Structure 1
Amino acid sequence: MVVVSGDRTQPSSVDGDRAAALLESAVAESMALGLAAAEVHSLAVSFAARAHAGNLEIVFVECNSDRAKYFASEIEAHVGTPVRPLVLGAFEPADESPDLVLTTFFHLAEVRKMMRRPRTEVVGLVVGPHVQTLVQISQVPRSRSVGICYSTEEQAVSIRDSLTQSGFSNISVLRGTSDEDLQGVDLVVVPSEMPELRRQLEGRVRVVEFGNILDHASVHMVADVVRELRLAKSGRNEG
């Protein structure tokens, strides 16, 4: 037996009362339609088992809270399943055992190393530049350069390649933030999770944060993965 305070039991009691009322109403309606008590019981057990089998724990791992919450809510709205945001460095991987881990390709390798456990699938999603970011970059003359300054060179190269694929040819990765590095640079793209970098550059060059949106193909791919995981989990539970 575990004794808990009234603060913890009250929400459960309220939820239990509401669930009981819903079930009582459903049972009364079912029996009014002519179903026997045994049939109602069998249906209730079957529906409960199916609902339990379909429950998946999904997390979205990102480098800061705002981005994690934003991407998690976007995926949640699309797949109809709760997605819990997690921030790199702010949780203990050993305490997590989700069915599906989502992250961006920027952090895929790092997250895969953290989540090394059976039956945990880690999927990297493609993110693209927000239209506002593209508009500001398009205003830079072709004779001037747009610099990419990120926390790692790998991420900066990935951003550069993404913008190049969008049709921009005057994109370069900055090796530093000195006056020499900024020569010929009209605009610097920085990550939103590094406000100190923006402050360091402001007043010396125009700065824009790299706003991200999830790639539609990636979102649809996640929906397919969630569907497959639900079927697999349902099969395991039935077995």
Structure 2
Amino acid sequence: MDQDKSNIGGEVLKLQLKRETGIPLYIQVQNLIKELIKNGVWLPGSKIPTERSLAQQLNVSRNTISMAFRDLEHQGLLVCHQGRGTFVAESDEVVRLESRKERLLRIIDMAMEEATTLGFSIDDFMAITHVRAREKRDILSKVNIILIECNREQVDFFAQELAHSVGVIIHPILIGDLESHPEKFREIIRKADIVITTLFHLQTVKDIVGDVGTEIISIALSPLLDSIVRIARIPNNAHVGIFCLSNNFAEKMIASLRSAGINHLQYSIFLSPAEKEVLLAQIESVDYIITSPGRKQELMNHTKKEVVEFIYSPDQASTNLLRAALMELKEKNLKK
């Protein structure tokens, strides 16, 4: 256990990070920051210590602090201002922590109140919003969006996840296919309304497709915390089987785990669906199982061992950026 009395936010506090629990350090840092905010040590709007300062005080890497800050910003607890530093979110920003349904209901209530002040009845409000929602649904159903990624597991899963998040149909393209047949896909991309790719592949995609006149949006992806926490709790030196469709996914997953400070496991990689006898032998040869989304059900059907699904998900800022682009596209289409 690491214990340190540090000056944080003008207060001398006893800080604790427990390395032996198996819980990633950046999650422990998040919990510590939440406690400081909850207990009023860090007040809404106040500037908090820098990543470098916290890293030194807690005896962890800056990358650990950076990951904690990033996730807390996505949760709405922290606000990062370029060149100014990181601040505790103001009360109106903390409202974002409420459930999506509660937030939506509040927005609807405010809209209804505004409508009544303008002289509309509740029935008028229902009719107008119904028509408007139907218009948006019809427009979005005609939007042509392409997602470009490097491996089959991610490109298919992301297409489904983003489609669910923003309410549109997304067509996936593998970056390897794009590199092999640039002319074919350049024409497809030219006809698209929006192209989505990851920050890592943004420049590659731009270099291949050139100036086709289609907006290209880059998104940031990160592993779900639940996946990280479950894997972090696997005992030291355990033999872990990674079941996926491509080496690319496996290598990226291992790199993500190491970045999160998970370095205590031994891995074997098993690619593509296998014959039942081969699959059973692979399962039997390992202590724990991690799988990409595309192979989860296959494994669940053949073992009672715990199967940890490793999922990369777009962060909230990326999803919001895509929604904003779609809304802008919608407004253009409504004016046509």
Q: Normalising to structure 2: TM-score of the pair?
A: 0.37
Q: Normalising to structure 1: TM-score of the pair?
A: 0.49
Higher relative contact order (CA 8 A, sep 6+): 1
